[in-house]
Amino acid sequence: MIRNRSLIPRICESFYAENLTSALESIERVQYMGELRFDLSRLEVDDLNIIRNSFPKKPLIFTFRGNSESALERLKVYERAVEQKFEFIDLDITTDPEIISRLKPLLKTTTCKLIISYHNYTETPDFPTLRAILQEISQLNPDHIKIVTIAHHANDLESLKNLQSLIPSSLCFSMGEFAAQSRLQSLYGGAPFTYIALQANKQTAPGQLDFKEFQKLYLEFRGGKELKLAVLGNPIAHSKSPILFHEFFTKHAIDGIYEKIELDDIQEFLELKPYYDGFNITAPFKKTIMAYVDGLTQEAEQIGAVNTIYKEHEKWIGDNTDFSGILKSLKPFLSHPDDNTCLIIGAGGAASAAAFAMQQKGIATTIINRTPSKSLELAQKFGHKTVSQPNLSNFRIIINTIPEPFSLVNKYELNTSHVVLDAIYSDSPFAKAGIETGFHLIKGEKWLYEQALQAFEKFKNSILQ
């Protein structure tokens, strides 16, 4: 299954429940953030305590639209929701002005945030009216502004788009026929999140889609972006690549988007490629992706791994920028290759790039891996050596590509003469050892940045063809 990890934190899965057990089961299924529609549910006020105690870390929006209850009755329920530390409460500017006013002092004493919304279930008002509503809500200083209407034609979508441009962090979208398109438009316009249905057969608003259908439309949606990119891997949520590429977009004045997508099987790449301009590839797919591209660069073919895929004359080309990222990261320490020796820890795709990089520089290199046959295969490919129990004093440069290197090497052999390039940037095993020992640590972020910059240039050139 394809899971867009850039999208998931930006959706709120809305639901209602017939009883407490059903509510707890629904929240369990919520991927990131959920909206409990208390007004559509058959729950008791005391159930709120059980719900929050059962899921204290899952962000939840509490919504209680007016039915037959009085404002005072709804106020008391909202107070309980605030006390139970729901992340957000949603109140309507038209029906709930008194409740908003009376809850403001309580909200100042808690972490609960306020969404002030406007709903029109019959039409999309003209733009001056919408702008006046936006300004009215803005003056109340909520944490989020939400404006939702019924859209009957494309002009209504344009009005909502223009409205959100006044306050890009607001949520402006429609219900009904254009519900999905307007939510996509709102996300691309800067909304922090949007709403979908937790279950397709239990919508809380007309036109809501569930995650599977909404994600499909999101993947296909371009929103006028010049460059649409993604990194593919599993796991992928930890990736810092989107941060780097958004910096590149800003520096080069490119209106681009870069997403993190988790795959169960590399064959799912075939579903994605019609909708993107390029991809970065990370573990565990750097080798298996090679069968799904139209051609390989010489470097990718020699390394036997791909971390970058770009278009060239409508053909998908697999490339490898990992090795150049390694060379750029180590550049200050490679001026005298005859005096250098290198130990590579690991034998996967990143290690292959490291072995190729060291071969290009003529540096005597040894490879160690948990599975000796893999390290031997990699060493023979690039004319390097293998070892089962290395003495770190025999090496100046150490390139680590695995999460647990100290199962293979003795960290107490590290000294101030060592230069360590660690590809594991999210939780570097060498970081603490570096403080204790004093060797020179080049963090994985440096490697990530250098290879990403090379990939960005290829993506940028591909759209300029």
Q: Give the residue numbers marked as catalytic.
A: 286
Distance CA 334, CA 376 (A): 25
> Which residue carries 């990119």 as its tokens?
229
SS3 (DSSP) at 49: helix
Sign of CA dihedral 426, 430, 433, 434: negative
Distances (CA, A) of 295 to 300, 311, 431: 10, 10, 38
Q: Contact, 188 vs 221, CB < 8 A?
A: yes
Closest CA to 9 of 27, 36, 30: 30
Which residue type does 451 have?
Answer: Q
Kind and range of the H or E run holding 219: helix 211-220
Residues sharing a CB contact under 8 Å with residue 418, sequence separation 6 or more, in sequence order? 392, 395, 396, 397, 398, 437, 439, 440
Distance CA 296, CA 319 (A): 6
Distance CA 173, CA 451 (A): 38
SS3 (DSSP) at 320: coil
Q: Contact, 455 vs 321, CB < 8 A?
A: yes
For residue 260, the cross-strand partners are 231
Distance CA 31, CA 249 (A): 29
